[in-house]
């Protein structure tokens, strides 16, 4: 029998990473058969000028995520612009994640188009080689979505994620446990998930540029600088990432929304309308998950960079009016009138809602009833079906589906 037969030689740990191929663009090509094999890019609405993602046909001529549409058209004059359809992407993602649970219940939804599967405990169920299991996973995804994916399989999450990138699109890469350290050795450390440029610069000070260099630095140095993350990084680079599958959705550390606005906007009322839009979105999302917050980050992005401040409300709140009062204060005190092209509001300390601190406010019960009615109407008829009058002039660009989107919990930003 093949030496990779799972039933004959179980691995002590087996992790697979499913990575969809140009996910949003592939869905657009799926739904529009005449777009298949043609360069397609997805933008945030028809008026969006920044490319969210591009099909492989577009990537082949140099079109990349984050590129401006005007620049992309110089590379591919026949480039097709597809306005983003977040609800459709979320629907397909949910179908894929649900189908993958038929492979193993040990599933971590890592992003809207990625998932980790821990196959360790069910290896004996599959009387096949590791490669055949990988193909079974790919078939499962295709049957659920009619889309292709790439799969990486190894004995830890970091190596499996790296492996999935090696043969895109529509690839399958298996890294045997005994080969993981050697396979990663020539890989730049910054190619591993979780090692950004900041950590990369710190490692470079010790001569650690590639994963094979990691033994030049004691694990204690990384632990002292980055804590448990440092210890994990040291192990990650050697094919020994200890991080388990996380099935649960962690409590939110922040809840925020941002929006691109017409470039170089200096009209205060326009900027305020966009901030009001974000304030109401943050407030509604806090209420949806029975949360509240007291510290909010409010900012506007200009040609010179972000102007942002952390501001606190008097009490923890999930009321858009109170959040907007902070935004008005921000505009009055911190914004100098320079042109804006993006706004953002984030709740930095979301916590389980506790009404104890507001029991003696006379307007508390009435405002709660009003907000509950508002949420019920918008849940039934769609986001902002009932809203403040200034929001009738809000941006018509669709909601963006975050890479961190999940089908359930606070990371599902698409629910009305």
User: Would you write out the chain's pLDDT as a tens digit for each of its 416 residues?
Assistant: 344 555 557 899 999 999 999 999 999 999 999 999 999 999 987 777 889 999 999 999 999 998 999 999 999 999 999 999 988 999 999 999 999 999 999 999 999 999 999 999 988 888 889 999 999 999 999 999 999 999 999 999 999 999 999 999 999 999 999 999 999 999 999 999 989 989 999 999 999 999 999 989 999 999 999 999 999 999 999 999 999 999 887 777 888 988 888 889 999 999 999 999 999 999 999 998 899 999 999 999 998 999 999 999 999 999 999 999 999 999 999 999 999 999 999 999 999 887 654 555 556 778 888 888 887 887 888 777 888 888 887 776 666 676 666 676 656 666 54
Catalytic residue, chosen from 28, 57, 108, 114, is 114
Q: What is the pTM assigned to this prediction?
A: 0.80
In this prediction, residue 224 carries a pLDDT of 94
Among 405, 399, 406, smallest CA distance to 383 is for 399
- So what's the pLDDT on residue 1? 39
Q: Which fold has domain 185-236?
A: DNA polymerase; domain 1 (1.10.150)
CATH 3.30.1490.100 residue spans of the chain? 255-393
Q: What is the model's pLDDT at position 6?
A: 55
Kindly report, as residue ranges, where domains of CATH 1.10.150.20 are found in the chain: 185-236
pLDDT the model gives residue 416: 46
Q: How far lies 403's CA from each of 214, 354, 407, in Å?
A: 29, 30, 12
What does CATH list as the number for 255-393? 3.30.1490.100
* Portions of the chain given CATH number 3.30.70.270: 1-177
Fold held by 1-177: Alpha-Beta Plaits (3.30.70)
Backbone angles phi, psi at 4, to 5 degrees: -95, 5
The answer to whether the beta carbons of residues 402 and 87 sit under 8 Å apart is no
383 is an active site residue: no
């Amino acid at each position: 029998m093949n030496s990779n037969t799972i039933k004959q030689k179980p691995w002590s740990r087996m992790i697979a990473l499913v990575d969809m191929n140009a996910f949003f663009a592939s869905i657009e090509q799926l739904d529009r058969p005449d777009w298949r094999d043609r360069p397609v890019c997805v933008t945030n609405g028809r008026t969006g000028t920044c490319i969210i993602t591009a099909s492989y046909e577009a990537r082949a001529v140099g079109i990349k995520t984050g590129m401006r549409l005007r620049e992309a058209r110089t590379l591919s004059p026949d480039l097709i612009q597809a306005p983003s359809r977040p609800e459709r992407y979320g629907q397909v993602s949910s179908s894929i994640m649900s189908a993958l649970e038929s492979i193993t219940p040990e599933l971590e939804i890592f992003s809207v188009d990625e998932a980790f599967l821990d196959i360790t405990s069910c290896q004996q169920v599959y009387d096949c080689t590791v490669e055949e299991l990988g193909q079974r996973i790919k078939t499962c995804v295709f049957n659920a979505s009619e889309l292709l994916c790439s799969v990486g399989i190894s004995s830890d999450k970091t190596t499996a994620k790296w492996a999935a990138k090696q043969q895109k699109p529509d690839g399958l890469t298996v890294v045997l446990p005994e080969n993981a350290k050697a396979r990663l050795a020539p890989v730049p450390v910054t190619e591993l998930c979780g090692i950004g440029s900041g950590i990369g610069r710190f490692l470079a000070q010790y001569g650690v540029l590639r994963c094979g260099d990691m033994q030049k630095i004691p694990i204690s140095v990384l632990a002292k600088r980055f804590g448990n993350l440092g210890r994990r990084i040291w192990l990650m680079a050697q094919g020994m990432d200890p991080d388990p599958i996380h099935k649960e959705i962690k409590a939110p550390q922040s809840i925020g929304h941002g929006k691109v606005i017409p470039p170089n906007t200096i009209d205060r009322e326009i900027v305020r309308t966009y901030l009001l839009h974000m304030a109401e979105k943050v407030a509604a999302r806090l209420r949806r998950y029975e949360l509240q917050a007291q510290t909010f980050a409010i900012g506007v992005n200009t040609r010179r960079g972000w102007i942002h401040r952390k501001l606190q409300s008097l009490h923890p709140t999930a009321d858009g009016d109170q959040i907007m009062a902070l935004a008005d204060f921000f505009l009055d005190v911190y914004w100098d009138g320079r042109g804006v092209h993006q706004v953002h509001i984030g709740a930095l300390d979301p916590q389980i809602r506790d009404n104890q601190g507001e029991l003696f406010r006379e307007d508390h019960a009435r405002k709660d009833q009003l907000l509950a009615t508002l949420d019920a109407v918008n849940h039934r008829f769609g986001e902002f079906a009932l809203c403040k009058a200034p929001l009738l002039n809000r941006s018509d660009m669709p909601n963006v589906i975050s890479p961190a989107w999940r089908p359930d919990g606070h990371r599902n930003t698409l629910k009305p």
